[in-house]
Every structure is written in structure tokens, then in C-alpha cells.
Amino acid sequence: MMRAAACVLLAWALSAPVWAERLTLEAALASVSAAHPDRRVAESELAVARADREQAGSRQDFNLFLDGSLRTGHRPDGDWEPDNIGRIVARKSLLDFGRSSQAIAAADQEVVARQAALFNVENLRRIDIMARYFDVLMADMQYAADNELMAVTYVSWDNARKRFEVGQISQPELMRIEATFQDVRERRYASQQRMSSTRQKLAHAMNQPRVFPSELEEPALKENARAVADFNMLLAAVMRNNPRVLALQAQVAAMDGRIAAVRADRNPTLDAEVIGAGYSRSSNTRDDLSAGLVFTIPLYQGARVDARVARELAQKERVAAELEKLKLDLSESLYTTLQEIQWLRESGRAAADKQIEYRDWALERARAEYEMEMKTSLGASMADTQLALLRRKQVEYRLALALARLDALSGGHLPPVEGAKK
């Protein structure tokens, strides 16, 4: 029984998360290069493309093989004698009239596509880590505000119970105050749960599922002040440098190469061949060593080439359509992101700052009234101030994410802004 209990405790200890020390945004973003499953999938696809490139290049490699036959033959004198043959053959392709070159070109473009896809995964992971990091900070601030408000409502409920005992308030009024306290208590409990769940999501985004960050450092977010080019300049940069666009364009080019390689199967081939042979029966018409050129001209291949070409053309059309759809989506996403940046800078910040200014004034007034024992709303004012600060931080976090998305859309090549400070 004790052994079973020890096993249960050991399993719990192994599964329980480890709380890490103070974490910075820079340290969190450094985990982009970690072996996250999304990155491993992209890296494996790149490895497959590189292997296909090696395979395409091996078409021109030197081939050496052994072949032979075991047989017997009937002689004119009526006897059966063995007629065995063993050969060592060395063969090298000299010309295949486009098969290898087009296959290599297609494989090279596929490698380019997979490299762009890997870069896109890194961009997406960077944005995801930033978002998870900001979620933790906002969850902590929300919990602080809800915890403050719960303390205020608890004091109100406790005072109400004392007043009810001496008959100063009715039972329905006491029930109303208690119901308010329970609602705030439930909200505070949900905020506490959100603190833990956001940390778990951040740990997963960093590919450290068992290491939960206990405390996060507030980032400076200096990039929030950088200037942004207009829509047309950004759109041109996005269409030119977006990694998903580059990946699909490379795939279209790869399919052109594969189509050309398949069509080249109708072309002749020229190989150099050297043969060393041994025979169990000697003959004047057999050579122990021979060399020559082997020229092959396809005369009829059925529908094999046409079917393969049709398949590649259909796939090319699908990818080309995906590329056109992607460009439309990127244009919409860029426009929406620019609108969000403009709104946050011109309206979101101003509204949040004014709310903080008002809440600071209300807190000072509540503090003065509390000191004069006129009112007891100091705790509620402190909670409202926390929420106003949370709103201001949320604006900056959203702005940082919008700018990060803008950078990812352009593949990290945002156009310079004339007159902007460097």
C-alpha cells in the first residue's frame, strides 16, 4: 500500500509543472529556434526537399552493377553443356536531353519553397509567443484588479451582516450585497485560473511544457514608436517578400520544371558503357571486355507521358489559384493591420490615457473622503484604477502585435519611411 502511494506521489511530482524564474520577452522570443513541433514539421519537409534534390542530381551518377545468367544449351552432337554468363557493367549517362537538368531545377525550386515555409513558421511562432506573453501580463493585472474588488465587496458584505444583526438593514438587502460579493469572488477565481492557463499556453508556445514562468518582466516595446509606410508601399513589399508568396511562387516554378522533365521522357538518351564478362563456353563472337555508346530513341510510350503532364498541369493550376487567393488575403490582412495600428495610435492611446487621468483623480478624491470618513469607496476606486492601467497596457500590447504581424507579412523587409528617425 505504501509502495503504491509512493508511486502515485512520484507520478504527480513528474507531471507537476516546474515554475521558472523571472522571464523577459527577449528570452521568450529566443525559444523560436527550439524544436517546437511546428518547426520540426517544416524542417522535415525541407529535409525531404533536399533529399529529392540529391535524388534528381543522382540521375547523372556513374552506375556499376553485376548481372549474369545460368543456363544450359543442347549441342549439335547431342550433348547438353552449360552456357553460363557473368558480367560487370559500368554505365554513365552522357546526354538525356533535359531529363536531369529540368528535374534538378524543379528540385531546387522545391527547396526554396520549403525554406520560405520554414521562415514563415518562425514568424508565426514569434507572434504566437508574443501574444502568449502579453496574455500572461494582462491576466496578472486583471487578477490584481479583481482581487482588490473582492476585498472591497467582502468588507461591504461583512459590514452588512453586522448591520443586519442589529436590525439596520433588511434580509433582502443583505442577500443582494452577498450576491454581489459572490459574483465578484467568482470573477476573481476565474482570473486566478486564467493566470495559470495563460502561463501553460506560454510554456507550450516556447516548447517548454513543464516549465511555467512564475514572473514576467514588463517589456519596453520601443518598436511601438516606429513609423510605418503607406499602404501601397507596404503592399508592394508584401507581394515581393512575403514568405508564403515566395513559397507558392517557387512551387509553381518547380512544377514547370517537373513538366519539362516529364516531357523530356520523349527525348533520346546517350550512355557510355563498359562491360567485363566471363563465359563458361568460349566463342569467337563473345568479348571478354567491351566498350561503347548506347543510344536509345523512344518510339512509343503509350499515354504515360501525357497522363503525367496532365497531372502536373492540374497541380500547377491549383497552386497558382492558391497563390492568387493568398495575395487577396494578404492585401486584406495588410489593410486591416494598418487600420488597427492607426486606431490604436490615434484613438486607443488617447482614450486609455484619459481614462487613467480620470481614475487617478477619482482615486485621490476617494482617498480624501476615506481619510475624512465620509465614504468607504477607496477600494473600489483602486480596482477601477487597476482596470484603467490594464486598458492602457492592452493598447500597447495590441500595437506591438500588430507591428509584429506587419513585419511578418513583409518577410522582415518593411520599406523605409521618408523622414522617419532611425
- Left (φ > 0), alpha (ψ -120 to 50) or beta: where does 152 sit? alpha
Does pTM surpass 0.85?
no
* CB-CB contact of 90 with 273 (8 Å): yes
pLDDT digits (tens, 9 = 90+) for 271-292: 999 999 888 877 777 888 899 9
- pLDDT band of 81, cuts 50, 70, 90: confident
**C-alpha cell recorded at residue 301:** 510510350
Residue 151, CA distances (Å) to 157, 193, 371, 380 in order = 10, 18, 19, 9
The answer to whether 57 and 249 have CB atoms below 8 angstroms apart is no
User: Of 94-103, 266-275, 295-304, 349-358, where does mean pLDDT reach its minimum?
Assistant: 349-358
Q: What is the Cα–Cα distance from 64 to 85, expressed in whole angstroms?
A: 17
Share above pLDDT 90 across residues of the chain, in percent, rounded to a whole number: 53
CATH number for the domain running over 32-69+84-409? 1.20.1600.10
Q: What is the mean pLDDT of the chain?
A: 86
φ/ψ of residue 190, rounded to 5:
-65, -40
Convert 319-375 into a string of H (helix), E (strand) and C (coil): HHHHHHHHHHHHHHHHHHHHHHHHHHHHHHHHHHHHHHHHHHHHHHHHHHHHHCCCC
Domains of the chain, by residue range, sit at: 32-69+84-409
What per-residue confidence (pLDDT) applies to 374?
A: 44
- Per-residue pLDDT of 166-181, as tens digits, reads 888 889 988 998 898 8
User: What pLDDT, in 10s, does the model give residues 104-134?
Assistant: 999 999 999 999 999 999 999 999 999 999 9
Quick one: pLDDT band at residue 13, thresholds 50, 70, 90?
Answer: very low
User: How many C-beta neighbours within 10 Å does residue 320 have?
Assistant: 15
Q: How are beta strands 85-95 and 63-69 bridged, if at all?
A: antiparallel
Cα 90 to Cα 76: distance, rounded to the nearest angstrom: 35
SS3 readout for 125-144: HHHHHHHHHHHHHHHHHHHH
Q: Report pLDDT for 47.
A: 96
Give the pLDDT confidence score for residue 17 in this predicted structure. 63
Nearest to 288 by CA among 88, 90, 64, 91: 88
